[in-house]
């Protein structure tokens, strides 16, 4: 009986990964195939496998297709995938750590913090010696780290128990403040206004392989750190004291998780601007479908998060083609109602006891 159950349980987890994987692959193929020029899916597969395995099949394929796929669509899809994955796993981690299903880099104000770092770098043409193109993500990460600490310190000053609503409110206050700073900086510099506003609303267009190189190492470090702390996140989602009683070194782990979350958010914002609600919607959905165990929730959030953002990007550039919508518009259109729903559900649960 129990063996059967365990078998079923395992199957369930495999099923979860399979479903998420299929969703990701489909999103990738759709994302590459659709656009002003439609590329047949079979062709995409041929081009990519030729590139990956070094076949020289390219002569049978229209070079325009392969150029579109390899130089425009594929990097765009990969970049949006990486950004989506980073934001989703960071959101899942913040939620677990703060025991707050409404936490996400955007609602916590971390994204705004990272934006300030990025805007500072862009407009003052800052460049840290030896790191070159990594100056942008590094400063974004630094600023997101500072922001999350300020937000949490402030929230705990308001109320020791740090209720869900208190943290969110603090995040909103910080977001507005940081947003004002960004506006101020833009106003003071004057030029490139349109571009920066587009960037602020979030976009993954015309970034190319260069940006993938920027985000990839941070994505690997950040999500690696979080996945290694999945059990601790499980314990901490029962409260920090409880976690300590269970044997978790709370101070150290908390710092690690906050750092990892900041790395992921900072890097994602550096390459794509502020894209809201991905870190809210995806972990929530994954938890609903497959349960709250962070050992599975984190990887599953990575997979579904990247698929989700690829689709969101696809919609943003096709829905009123040829004009492109900022991708943040799409995610906010989906995310804000979900946020409201979660809030309602929580309140209802509290009332029913």
Partner 1 sequence: MLDVQQVSGGYSSEAVLKDISFTVEKGELFGILGPNGSGKTTLLKMLSGILPFQEGEIVINGKSLQEYKAKQLAKIIAVLSQHSSQSFSYTVKETVSLGRYAHQKGLFQTWSTADEEVVQKVMNQIGVSRFQNKNIQELSGGEKQRVFLAQALAQEPEILLLDEPTNHLDLSYQKELLDFLKQWTSENGLTVISIFHDLNLAGLYCDRLLLLENGRINIDQIPNEVLREERIRDVYHTDIQKHPHPKVAAPQMVLLPKRNCEVVNFNIDETRLHISEEWIELTTPIPLRTMSSGVIGSGTGWHQIFVNRHVHKDYSCSNHRAEMASFLKSKGFEPSETVGMMTAVVLEDVVYKRFIEEEFSIFVVVTAGVGNAIDASKGEQHSFEMTPGTINTWVFVTGELTEEAFIQSIMTATEAKVKALNDLKVKDEVTGTIASGTSTDSILIAATQTGAVLEFAGTITPLGKLIGKAVYLCTTEAIQKSSKRKRK
The DSSP letter of residue 99 is T
Nearest Cα to Cα of residue 101 among 180, 179, 167, 164: 164
String marking each residue 39-78 x if it binds partner 1 according to CB under 8 A: ----------------------------------------
238 binds partner 1 (CB under 8 A): yes
CB 279 within 8 A of CB 105: yes
Record the tokens describing residue 259, joined without a space: 């750092």
* Dist CA 229 CA 353 (whole Å): 31
Whose structure tokens read 């796929």? 69
Record the tokens describing residue 242, joined without a space: 């409880």
Record the tokens describing residue 120, joined without a space: 């500072």
Peptide bond into 183 cis (omega under 30): no
Rounded to the nearest whole angstrom, what is the least distance from the CB of residue 227 to partner 1 in the complex?
Answer: 10
Query: Restricting to residues 160-179, which ones interact with partner 1 according to CB under 8 A?
Result: 164
101 binds partner 1 (CB under 8 A): yes
Nearer to partner 1, 207 or 296 (CB): 296
* Dist CA 121 CA 125 (whole Å): 5
Rounded to the nearest whole angstrom, what is the least distance from the CB of residue 347 to partner 1 in the complex?
Answer: 14
Rule CB under 8 A: choose which of 12, 184, 220, 245 binds partner 1.
245
Rounded to the nearest whole angstrom, what is the least distance from the CB of residue 237 to partner 1 in the complex?
Answer: 6
Choose one: 13-21, 83-91, 99-107, 134-142; the region binding partner 1 (CB under 8 A). 99-107
Choose one: 61-69, 107-115, 236-244, 265-273; the region binding partner 1 (CB under 8 A). 236-244
Sequence-separated (6 or more) residues with CB below 8 Å from residue 144? 105, 110, 111, 113, 114, 117, 262, 265, 266, 269
Whose structure tokens read 């400063």? 139
Rule CB under 8 A: choose which of 249, 255, 333, 347 binds partner 1.
249
Rounded to the nearest whole angstrom, what is the least distance from the CB of residue 351 to partner 1 in the complex?
Answer: 14
299 binds partner 1 (CB under 8 A): no
What residues make contact with partner 1 under the rule CB under 8 A?
96, 99-101, 164, 228, 231, 234-235, 237-239, 241-242, 244-250, 287, 291-293, 349
């Amino acid at each position: 009986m129990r063996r059967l159950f365990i078998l079923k349980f395992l199957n369930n987890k495999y099923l979860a990964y399979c479903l998420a994987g299929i969703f990701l692959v489909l999103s990738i193929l759709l994302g590459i195939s659709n656009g002003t020029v439609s590329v047949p899916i079979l062709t995409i597969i041929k081009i990519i496998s030729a590139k990956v395995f070094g076949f020289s099949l390219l002569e049978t394929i229209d070079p325009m297709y392969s150029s579109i796929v390899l130089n425009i669509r594929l990097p765009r899809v990969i970049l949006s995938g990486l950004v989506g994955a980073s934001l989703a796993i960071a959101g899942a981690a913040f939620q677990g750590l703060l025991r707050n299903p409404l936490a996400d880099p955007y609602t916590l104000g971390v994204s705004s913090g990272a934006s300030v770092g990025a805007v500072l770098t862009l407009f003052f043409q800052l460049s840290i010696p030896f790191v070159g193109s990594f100056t942008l993500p590094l400063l974004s990460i630094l600023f997101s780290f500072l922001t999350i600490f300020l937000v949490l310190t402030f929230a705990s000053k308001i109320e020791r128990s740090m209720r869900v609503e208190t943290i969110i409110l603090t995040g909103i206050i910080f977001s507005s403040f940081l947003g004002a700073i960004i506006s101020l900086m833009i106003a003071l510099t004057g030029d490139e206004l349109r571009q920066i506003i587009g960037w602020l609303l979030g976009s993954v267009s015309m970034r190319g392989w260069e940006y993938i190189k920027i985000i990839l190492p941070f994505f690997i470090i950040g999500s690696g750190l979080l996945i290694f702390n999945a059990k601790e996140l499980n314990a901490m989602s029962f409260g920090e004291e409880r976690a300590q009683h269970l044997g978790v070194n709370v101070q150290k782990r908390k710092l690690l998780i906050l750092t990892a979350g900041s790395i992921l958010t900072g890097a994602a914002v550096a390459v794509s601007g502020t894209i809201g609600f991905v870190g809210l919607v995806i972990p929530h959905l994954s938890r609903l479908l497959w349960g709250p165990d962070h050992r599975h929730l984190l990887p599953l959030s990575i997979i579904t998060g990247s698929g989700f953002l690829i689709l969101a990007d696809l919609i943003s550039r096709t829905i009123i083609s040829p004009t492109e919508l900022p991708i943040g518009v799409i995610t906010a259109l989906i995310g804000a109602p979900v946020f409201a729903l979660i809030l309602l559900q929580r309140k209802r649960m509290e009332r029913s006891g």
